[in-house]
Structure 1
């Protein structure tokens, strides 16, 4: 039985609790921790957990009975809590984004390596049937070379969203919609499409003058073979329509699922390639649906890796790569220059201090509240 602790009992915590509770014969939540212990106590009562409540994470990581820790705190705390947990011999599942800087990511990776413990970064959208099916098709090269990718990470958040005390500041949140909302789509993008050679980006804040950070960004990624990708991150799009479109030489596929394939007429104009579309639809439908999805799917993956002493699908290196793309977007947008990848330790935005030194806040954060009475959130455009 794997003993689990959850540090941070805010809005994302219930997704972890519900995930672990799907595997009662494999794991048990034995500890909840929050700087506001009444929140942890409320979570304990809501899910009727047989767990101890803590207000200090240092006490949690020292508990010998704990095997695995979920880190569900604000991004600027991820590195310290994760490293302390790994150094005490615990495996860690840390929420997105992995950390506030690449320097912190590297310190977390070093801690996992020296302590021989698993480090997994939450990317629950990988653990969905549509995404696994899309990845399966891309790996088979049925649509040919990818020539253009479109990633639309569209969300909508009202003005009061940034009133929460840690949101909307570069110091505490580490960034805006690019880091904290589009992180999932950017993770999927680099997992499916590979790592680009350069990023050119612009950011803006058009609707939230109570935040220092961006509420929309547009980035262009370039590849050595000439392929392009465009990534839009937003919290100003009503409807929250989200999509990923891959244009190959032979066909177009996407999530939500849609396939279009064309052949060229004698004059170069398109006509439908029905045979290829039927083939792609068949491959898509034949891929078996996942038994558990989302956070529960990733938790299942982590539990299996601990039980089998194997590897996780989304490890620290993958989490770092996602943050590296986001860091490049911020560096490009704030310097007005294209950024070559990969980023090294000399990059201006490699450290947290470097980010705070070079970033240009849009506004000064004003109102600040400790908590919202309504803790419900939306994940991928639907209530969870």
Structure 2
């Protein structure tokens, strides 16, 4: 029986708690830590856990705990993760992995030294439509991928950035690109790999209580000539989100939509129903994901601990996602075309470098300590369009 602790009892912690409770024969939540210890106790009471509330997370490091979920603001991820790994705990960290590439490298080094698992939350990979789409792309049935379109559309009201740590480069580490589109950017990199270069723009059009962006667009070029575009937003009503991949033979997307074309003699398109049927049949025969979202990722980590198998999303993968996002921030702030990789010599490699050089749209002048505990949105269900 693996013993679990959770650091941070904000809204996202409920997803972790609910996921662990799906595997009560494999693990038990024994502690929840929060600087507001009453919030930790409220979570324990809410889920009727046989656990204790802890104010100082360091109390957990010497205890018999196997796995720690970190559900705190991004600027805390690196020190918490390093401390937990060095104390011999496996660690699951909420997105984004950290606030800088330097911190990612510190976290990965700690994982390597300790021999413990470090997994970065990217729960959208553990959804049936996303898993199926990845398999379709890998099958080669679409031909070479020539264009990718990612629409990470969310909507957050002005008061969203009133929370004390949000909306600042120092504590949140960025805006919608880092903290919302991270899910879709992770999926893009999983499916297509890292582009060679990126040109980006960003703005703050609706939230004058935040230093960070609420809208960004990145234009991508891959080594093979393929292009892509990623739009990150918290100003899109309806929160429609999609990933579209155009292959040389067909087009597929999440939410699932399939089109295939062949050329008439004059080069104009006509439907290719045979290829559409072949791809659809392949898609339909792929298995359903047994556990979706956070539950799927926590099952993946528990299985890795139990069997020694690798996790699907490790610290290397988490760093790649952050590197892409930092590329957007660097390009949008400097006007430069940014080429990957980004290493320690880059001025955007450190938190201090980002805080100094990233565009500050507004200065945050007031804040609230806490919001009332209400439900949050964590992304599309990616159901097939009817």
> Matched residue of 1:332: which SS?
helix
- In the TM superposition, 1:1-384 aligns within 5 A as 1-63=1-63, 65-381=64-380
Q: C-alpha displacement at 1:37, in angstroms?
A: 0.4
Deviation readout 1:2-57 (Å, 9 max, x if unpaired):
10000000010000000000000000000100000000000000000001110111
Cα contact 1:305–1:312 (8 A) shared by 2: yes
User: How far apart in 2 are the matches of 1:250 and 1:381?
Assistant: 27
Give the whole-Å Cα distance in 1 for the aligned partners of 2:164 and 2:11. Answer: 14
- Deviation per CA, 1:332-373, whole angstroms, max 9, x where unpaired? 001100100011111111011111111120001123011111
Matched position secondary structure for 1:361: coil
Query: What SS does structure 1 have at the residue aligned with 2:184?
Result: helix
Contact 2:143 2:248 in 1 (8 A): yes
**How far did residue 375 of structure 1 move?**
2.6
What is the rounded CA distance, in whole Å, between the counterparts of 2:223 and 2:89 in structure 1? 40
Distance 2:160 2:380 in 1: 16
1:293: Cα distance to partner?
Answer: 0.3
In structure 2, what is the Cα distance between the partners aligned to 1:105 and 1:235? 25
Structure 1 segments unaligned to the other structure (5+ residues):
none
Secondary structure at 1:22's aligned position in 2? helix
Please give the secondary structure, in 1, of the residue aligned with 2:23: coil
Q: Distance in 2 between matches of 1:166 and 1:375?
A: 18
CA contact (8 A) 1:123 1:187 kept: yes
Q: What's the offset of the Cα at 1:381?
A: 4.5
Could you list the runs of 5+ residues in structure 2 that have no partner in the other structure? 382-386
TM-score, structure 2 as length reference:
0.98
The worse-fitting range, judged by mean Cα deviation, of 261-270 and 353-362 is 353-362
Q: Give a deviation string over 1:205-231, Cα, whole Å, max 9, x none.
A: 000000000000000110111110000
Contact 1:10 1:375 (C-alpha < 8 Å) held by counterparts = no
Q: Measure how far apart 1:379 and its partner are.
A: 1.3
Q: Is the 8 A contact 2:33 2:54 kept in 1?
A: yes
Maintained 8 Å contact 1:156/1:236: yes
Structure 1 CA distance for aligned equivalents of residues 356 and 220 of structure 2: 25
Cα displacement string for residues 148-173 of structure 1 (whole angstroms, at most 9, x for unaligned residues): 00000000000000000000000000
**Runs of 4+ in structure 1 over 6 Å off:** none
Displacement of 1:309 after TM fit?
1.7
Whether the aligned pair in 2 keeps the contact of 1:75 and 1:99 (CA below 8 Å) is: yes
Residue deviations 1:242-285 (CA, integer Å, cap 9, x gap):
00000000000000000000000001000000000011111111
The whole-number CA distance in structure 1 between the counterparts of 2:205 and 2:177 is 14
Deviations 1:48-79 (A, max 9, x none): 0001110111112221x100000000000000
Rounded to whole Å, the distance in 2 between the matches of 1:219 and 1:24 is 43
1:155-200 Cα shifts (integer Å, max 9, x gaps): 0000000000000000000000000000000000000011100011
Whole-Å separation in 2 of the counterparts to 1:62 and 1:242:
43
| SS of residue matched to 2:251 | strand
RMSD across aligned C-alpha pairs, in angstroms? 0.7
Distance 1:359 1:132 in 2: 35
Preserved CA contact (<8 Å) 2:154 2:239: yes
Question: Is the 1:155–1:381 contact (alpha carbons within 8 Å) kept by the matching residues of 2?
Answer: no
CA distance in structure 2 between the aligned counterparts of 1:305 and 1:289, rounded to whole angstroms: 20
C-alpha distance in 2, partners of 1:43/1:374?
10
Total equivalences in the alignment: 381
